[in-house]
Structure 1
Amino acid sequence: MDTVLDTPLPLSVGQEGLWLLQRLAPDSATYNLAGGARMTPAPDPEILARAVRALTDRHAMLRSRYTETDGQPCRVVEAVGTLGELTAQEVPDATDEELDALVRAEVRRPFRLDTEGPFRAVLLRRRHDAVALVVTHHIATDAFSQWLLWRDLLQAYEAFATGHDDPGWEPLPVAYDDFVEREQMLLDSSRGKRQAEFWQEEAAGAQAAELPTDRPRPAVSSQTGASLLRRLPDRLSDKVLRTAAQRGVSPFALTLGAFQSLLHRWGGQRDFLLACPASTRRSSAAQVVGYFVNPVLIRGRFGRDTTLADAMTQAADRVRQATARVSYPYPLVARDAGTTGPLYRISVTMVATDRFGPGMGGAASGEPMTVAGIETTYLEIPHLEGQCDLSLEITRDVYGLTMALRYDTDLFERATVERLFDVFLRFVEAAADDPDQRVSRIPLTDDAERRALLALGGAGSGGTP
């Protein structure tokens, strides 16, 4: 579609929220998204630069500045070649550790949205291989958009490297501005008012799920975090899929129910909220890069007799209800709730890599691809750390389930989160093995931990060590 240059364009409500957060913390990289690819041998920098320019030509969000006009945040699209050009850096003798440090430094570099826009492409080139890195700000992309970027970038490189004049892409049928317009129509409609009422009822009387922390919560968060990543054993992944099918729920609902059960047991809350970032992308925008995501609130209620089956059924129902109303922007829910604190501090999401299309689903699982004779392997790079107290990301690929647990390092020690992760996997296994057991009966310690605690108690009471 034709793109209007140098004209202020309105933002979605979600984008306005991210723009405000960036204005409040301009040196934060909390909302940076990143992905990389190791390429052997190293790609031709000129061809890759041409592919990057084709990418920004196709997706105007990547060459937009986010600024303010007459007191209103807006987006201004710049001409192709103005923003988002490839930066190539020669690091011929860098070790893997040094290369990793360069990647992390680039990911943690904040964006100046009003001048440089929301997109950076970097090539770190050694003698025999290279890492291509794409970093974006969340205001312009979501998780699915990241894979669209990589697919289009690699297609463009393949085309140009093999002598073609263009990548042969089909024109995009819609633009992100169509989504912004549709959102405003919803907010002005009776349907939007009904959705607003639903979300106020959903949030009424509940508190954000919260766990005991290792350190006091600071008055102002530094928005820094870290991640733990674990792939479930094949036997456990298989059991989760099988039990979910038998119980008539999705694997996500089973895992979400297990996680909520853990939060209830660990934190002691009986009625709480967490958030699930959900897609607002319509099929017509399947190829469009943009911020098509909205956190929806999921309420968990637990009693003394609640079973894991109850938890997963409850989770499935709440997800179903929330998905039907995903279009109503969360920032307005938070504004109208009238609470002093946030409505959620913990989030959960699931990504199914089969949505990424042929080739890219395998790439997300770490399978090498061949691009113009170059072996290309996608690199998982930690990002979006520090947004929440805890954020659980579940990835379902052809090999099974992988869990990433991101945490706020202002609040938690790594050892605490590692133990929490261990117990969570115990709850997942319990939900897959025997979902009819009560949540209150699932042990928070394993046999070894219980023996250690008993030994410690015996020593403290004068017993023989």
Structure 2
Amino acid sequence: MRADIAAQLDLDPSEVTDGADLISLGLDSLRAMRLAGRWRRAGARIVFAELATEFTLAAWWSLVRSRLAEAAPRQEPERAVDEAAPFPLTPVQLAYWIGRGDGQIIGGVGCHAYLEFDGSGVDPQRLERAVRALVARHGMLRAVFHDDGTQQIMDTSPWPGLTVHDLSQLGDDAAEHIREQLSHRRFDASRGEVFDVRLSLLPGGRSRVHFEVDFLVADVLGLQILLKDLARLYLEPGTPMPPPACSFPRYLAARGEERAARRTRDQEYWRGRLDELPGAPQLPLATEPATITRPRFVRREKWLSTGAWQRIQEQARAHGLTPAMVLAAAYCEVLAAWSREPRFLLNLPLFDRDDTVHPDVAHLVADFTNLILVAADLSEPQPFAERARTLQARFRADARHTGYSGVEVLRDLARNGEHTGAPVVFACNLGTELIVPEVREAFGEPGWMITQTPQVWLDHQINEYDHGLHLAWDAVEELFAPGVLDAMFGAYGGLLE
């Protein structure tokens, strides 16, 4: 375990002493999740949330050693799964499916990502072959979603083939029109429409690849896998890329028994906390959410320089904080400054991908998202570091009980009476690049991008790259009073700087 931790941090094992604070050595939540997965594969029955209570090797070894003894005699046979049959939606998928309906507040939209890549010389026939190979490799790109709350992987996809928009003799308005058509689409997932790839030929020999996907079939890591695989299939068309040996229905079936046991335990924890959970941040709104029938998301983005990001990480470790929690605490400071109520819920997506089920789970595209609701309390004046530590402690305590999803907690809150939900999201994706170098080589530089999520007001997304930290706010523009989002985002960037 010492060697594993050292390898994650690029340290000599001698530097990882038994009692050293692993956060101060540079460990973050994503690397801790990878370590938990590695140790599960070695036979320890642990989950990441159990590591999140104390970040020392001594504490982790004590936990793992006790779980090795439990794990040794157990050998469960693999369950038979009909991978062509319908199978249930996860709680988060079900929330996306219901939320996309026209009758929902801030609904009527799919959970959708749209990206553009600007380059030159992309070959249409080669790109179409690459997309078809991608569909053959990833079963969830052939999924259909039924009204009875199930999903099913089909043999084929209704994708019609590559649409090529020849705009080479037209101006910028034509390209803007294509973006307007594609960027906020709601796919008909009941027909298996869950993704699209198109190509625009622009003046001067330039090209633009349009890529979009419904997050019913992928999470953020799945989006990275899709882009990376598509680039490799385009760059190396003769290299075979067979489907992963583990499918999503097989994965869910393998985890079913464990999930059921955890759900019962964690349901009790969250139902015991319902009365103390606050509502959404009470931000200055221009209109009631129920009056918006077709939400339109607008992006604000900022790059934090490598130097500034490095300073934040160093300060975080010096105070026993993960960099992700420092960013979350800064986000909460800004929300509280504009909110009429200093206590509110923050909606945090977790990517609950257990690669101990099968080695190929690491390459599987599906929506592994879970949600955790973290209560932020800024009602008392405190130094920033102290507030961040309080938020981190709350997150660690709640992260032990993710067997009962935040989606289910929100349903319980709604049953108990009026509740504003958790429409403000903090999606932190540190430790992995969304767009890897092969994608740039194949299709060009990433350009315009937008995401939308049903029943969400404001979605903060963070992605880490070698050249800096990308901060994006995707928000329902018409919901907020004029100038509010610009002021909040400016304050957030200023605070981090």
| Contact 1:224–1:386 (CA under 8 A) maintained in structure 2 | no
Question: 1:149 Cα shift?
Answer: 0.7
Question: 1:123 Cα shift?
Answer: 1.6
- Out of 261, 266, 283, which is 2:338 matched to? 266
Question: 1:101 Cα shift?
Answer: 3.1
| Contact 1:209–1:263 (CA under 8 A) maintained in structure 2 | no
For the pair 1:348 / 2:426, whether they are aligned, the reply is yes
CA distance in 2, matches of 1:244, 1:201: 32
TM (norm. structure 1) is 0.79
User: How do residues 199-218 of structure 1 correspond to structure 2 at under 5 angstroms?
Assistant: 199-218=270-289
CA distance in 2, matches of 1:79, 1:129: 35
| Contact 1:84–1:116 (CA under 8 A) maintained in structure 2 | no
CA distance in 2, matches of 1:329, 1:179: 18
| Contact 1:208–1:345 (CA under 8 A) maintained in structure 2 | no
- Out of 75, 79, 82, which is 2:151 matched to? 75
Structure 1 residues 94 and 353, CA gap change in structure 2 (3 angstroms) = farther
Structure 1 residues 286 and 203, CA gap change in structure 2 (3 angstroms) = farther
2:493 corresponds to which letter in structure 1? Answer: L
Q: Which runs of 5+ in 1 are unaligned?
A: 430-465
RMSD: 2.7
| Contact 2:281–2:340 (CA under 8 A) maintained in structure 1 | no
- Which residue of structure 1 lines up, in the alignment, with residue 16 of structure 2? none
- Which residue of structure 2 lines up, in the alignment, with residue 17 of structure 1? 95
CA distance in 2, matches of 1:313, 1:170: 45
CA distance in 2, matches of 1:381, 1:179: 31
- Which residue of structure 2 lines up, in the alignment, with residue 40 of structure 1? 120
- Which residue of structure 2 lines up, in the alignment, with residue 444 of structure 1? none
TM (norm. structure 2) is 0.75
Per-residue deviation, residues 10-36 of structure 1 (Å, max 9, x unmatched): 222222222222244699334111223
For the pair 1:313 / 2:389, whether they are aligned, the reply is yes
CA distance in 2, matches of 1:173, 1:324: 30
| Contact 2:158–2:191 (CA under 8 A) maintained in structure 1 | no
CA distance in 1, matches of 2:379, 2:158: 58
How many percent of aligned residue pairs carry the same amino acid? 18
- Out of 127, 134, 141, which is 1:55 matched to? 134
| Contact 2:137–2:242 (CA under 8 A) maintained in structure 1 | no
Per-residue deviation, residues 69-104 of structure 1 (Å, max 9, x unmatched): xxx222232223544633233322233443243123
CA distance in 2, matches of 1:123, 1:5: 33
Structure 1 residues 81 and 389, CA gap change in structure 2 (3 angstroms) = closer
Aligned residues: 408
| Contact 2:99–2:455 (CA under 8 A) maintained in structure 1 | no
User: How do residues 91-110 of structure 1 correspond to structure 2 at under 5 angstroms?
Assistant: 91-110=167-186
User: How do residues 393-412 of structure 1 correspond to structure 2 at under 5 angstroms?
Assistant: 393-412=461-480
Per-residue deviation, residues 231-272 of structure 1 (Å, max 9, x unmatched): 124543232112112112111111111222232332242432
| Contact 2:280–2:420 (CA under 8 A) maintained in structure 1 | no
User: How do residues 61-460 of structure 1 correspond to structure 2 at under 5 angstroms?
Assistant: 61-68=140-147, 72-80=148-156, 82-83=158-159, 85-126=161-202, 128-160=205-237, 164=238, 167-169=239-241, 171-182=243-254, 184-189=256-261, 191-222=262-293, 223-283=295-355, 284=359, 285-337=361-413, 338-352=416-430, 354=432, 360-362=435-437, 369-371=440-442, 376-384=444-452, 387-413=455-481, 415-429=483-497
Q: Greater CA deviation, 399-408 or 262-271?
A: 262-271
Structure 1 residues 172 and 3, CA gap change in structure 2 (3 angstroms) = farther
Q: Which runs of 5+ in 2 are unaligned?
A: 1-79
Question: 1:418 Cα shift?
Answer: 1.0
Question: 1:385 Cα shift?
Answer: 6.0
